[in-house]
Amino acid sequence: MLEELIDVALRRGAQEAEAFYSEVEETPVLFEANRLKQLNGRQVSGVALRVIVDGRLGAASSSRPGDVEGLVEMALEAAPYGPEAHFSFPAEDGYPQVETYDVAVEAFPLDDMVHLGQSLIDAVRRQQPELVCDASVRKAIHRVVGLNSNGGSFQYRRTIFSVGVHGTLVRGTDMLFVGDSQASCQAIRDGSAVVGEVLRQLRWAERTARVATGEMPVVFTPQGVAGALLGPLATAFSGRMVHQGQSPLAGRLGERLYDRRFSLWDDPTLPYRTGSRICDDEGVASRRLPLVEEGVVRHFLYDLQTAGMAGAEPTGHGSRGPGGQVGISPSCLVFSEGEMGLEELVREVGEGLVVEQLMGAGQGNVLGGDFSGNVLLGYKIEGGEVVGRVKDTVVAGNVHRLLAEALLALGRGRWVGGSLYVPPIAFARLSVAAKG
């Protein structure tokens, strides 16, 4: 169908055309309130078409099977009013070898998925029987095919397997939320890493503690880094934000803006990560891209259009949204790490706060790197130990400034959510406000 789409589009007056097909076949096994609740089967696919007509870009997408006429008509209708195209579709067809497919995922028996899910819930509730848990075990197969009128062509398959468990404990109006999940292109047979994380959260939250308002050392767990710091940090590396001058990193390539111990790269060529791929959704080949090397800003992320506008090289970070539209997003972000585990980091810090989940992150001047929020799950550190869970506590800071001026230590990293490798990070001082 993709060839036909391109042929018809060219015949109707497009100078260039590109068709993109994606398909997901997913089987989630869902547990609610400690028991198996729902089994799903999702088989959805869609086609996106982009055309360039007289230098302008038109786009359309459809999930109606065989909708060639509809797609071409919609894309051609949009093109005369569309943005000026600052690129040509790439002619590449040779791509790196990237491992994204595990036949064991496809073959993973349903019964085993059910057992795995139930075992997560049981293991967590052995420690805290009052916990009400939801859990999910999912397997999915993605298939992606892309083709363009300049000879570019790619296709790959990716399997994804994920497990997660989340628990709620309610006492009066006091609520505790714990949880963790893990994802990979390979089958996960053992949920002990996820269980271990949740048990630690429960242990650390067993008692309550109070922190005083003021500046103090703060440790972000890998989940805390992913939830609270990553958004404001990653936004600054979007080529679009840089090109529009909205990123505080605009014009600062090559400058050392962060602590030397901090490096960050994006690597879609890593084997079996959920963001791994041979190329991006526009057919630009994958490669390991350093964003920060020993504190020095090295690259930004680009799709074709933004790279064209900015006069930069496309980096292979064009990513399709649900309506087929192309945006910029990282694939697998990897942080530099240190030697210490989370507990050692806590010992190192001595006194302060651990942030695991922040609520209300994403508000404020995110473009400038600000983050702030209510500590939904966090703990007080006293004498090098976690002494209990804190409540009614708000933290606020700026991720760029923290990584430049206040980095105390990076701990040993772990994968959070399948495509993000992050260490726990300790900062020397962060502003903390506590009620009462």
Partner 1 sequence: MTPDDLREEMEKALRGWDVDYVEVRIDETTSTRIVYRGRDLEEIGRSRSFGGNVRALYRGGWGFVSFNDPRDLRRRVEQAVAQARFVGREKSHLAEVEPVVAIVPLEVGKDPRLVPLARKKELLDQYNELIWSTPGVSSSNIFYSDAHKRVLFASSEGAFVQQERIDVTVRIGATARRNGDVQQASVSLGALNDYSFVETLHDEVQRVARRAVELLDAPYVKPGVYPVVLDPILAGVFCHEAFGHLSEADHIYENERLRELMVLGRRFGQPVLNIVDGAAVPGLRGSYRYDDEGVPAQKTYLIKEGVLVGRLHSRETAGKMGERPTGNARALDYRFPPIVRMTNTYIEPGDATFEQLIADIKEGVYACNWYGGTTSMEMFTFSAGEAYMIRNGRVAELLRPVKLTGNVFETLMNIDGIGRDLAFNQGGGCGKAGQMPLPVSNGSPHIRIRQCVVGER
Q: Using CB under 8 A as the criterion, which residues of the chain lie in contact with partner 1 when the complex forms? A: 32-33, 36-46, 58-65, 67, 70, 74-75, 77-78, 80-83, 110, 130, 132, 168-175, 177, 240, 244-246, 248, 309, 323-325, 359-360, 362-365, 367-368, 372-374, 376, 392, 394, 396, 433, 435
Are 372 and 397 a contacting pair, CB within 8 Å?
Answer: yes
Query: What is the distance in angstroms between the CA of the first residue and the CA of the last residue of the chain?
Result: 65
The per-residue b/e assignment along 331-352, b for 16 or more CB within 10 angstroms, e otherwise, is: bbbbbbbbebebebbbebbeeb
For residues 60 and 234, which CB has a smaller minimum distance to partner 1 in the complex?
Answer: 60
Q: Parallel, antiparallel, or unpaired: how do β-strands 420-422 and 333-335 relate?
A: parallel
Cα 367 off chain centre by:
17
Are 89 and 262 a contacting pair, CB within 8 Å?
Answer: no
- Shortest spacing between CB 353 and partner 1, in angstroms: 17
For residues 49 and 285, which CB has a smaller minimum distance to partner 1 in the complex?
Answer: 49
Are 338 and 212 a contacting pair, CB within 8 Å?
Answer: no
Smallest CA-to-CA distance from 272 within 165, 147, 166, 182 is with 182
Residue 178 bridge partners (DSSP): 167
* 231 φ, ψ (degrees, to nearest 5): -55, -60
For residues 43 and 192, which CB has a smaller minimum distance to partner 1 in the complex?
Answer: 43
Q: What is the rounded CA–CA span in Å between residue 413 and residue 391?
A: 27
Cβ within 8 Å of residue 243, ≥6 positions away: 250, 306, 309, 310
- Shortest spacing between CB 374 and partner 1, in angstroms: 5
Smallest CA-to-CA distance from 144 within 160, 132, 129 is with 160
- Shortest spacing between CB 279 and partner 1, in angstroms: 21
For residues 32 and 385, which CB has a smaller minimum distance to partner 1 in the complex?
Answer: 32
For residues 258 and 272, which CB has a smaller minimum distance to partner 1 in the complex?
Answer: 258
Name the residue type at position 119.
Answer: S
- Shortest spacing between CB 295 and partner 1, in angstroms: 20
- Shortest spacing between CB 71 and partner 1, in angstroms: 8
Token reading at 277: 């791929």
- Shortest spacing between CB 246 and partner 1, in angstroms: 6
For residues 94 and 171, which CB has a smaller minimum distance to partner 1 in the complex?
Answer: 171
- Shortest spacing between CB 183 and partner 1, in angstroms: 14
- Maximum alpha-carbon separation in the chain: 74
- Shortest spacing between CB 185 and partner 1, in angstroms: 21
For residues 67 and 266, which CB has a smaller minimum distance to partner 1 in the complex?
Answer: 67
Are 268 and 332 a contacting pair, CB within 8 Å?
Answer: yes
For residues 231 and 388, which CB has a smaller minimum distance to partner 1 in the complex?
Answer: 231
Q: What is the rounded CA–CA span in Å between residue 146 and residue 363?
A: 36
For residues 378 and 423, which CB has a smaller minimum distance to partner 1 in the complex?
Answer: 378
- Shortest spacing between CB 12 and partner 1, in angstroms: 15
Torsion, CA 319, CA 320, CA 326, CA 328, rounded to 10: -30
Token reading at 37: 């609740």
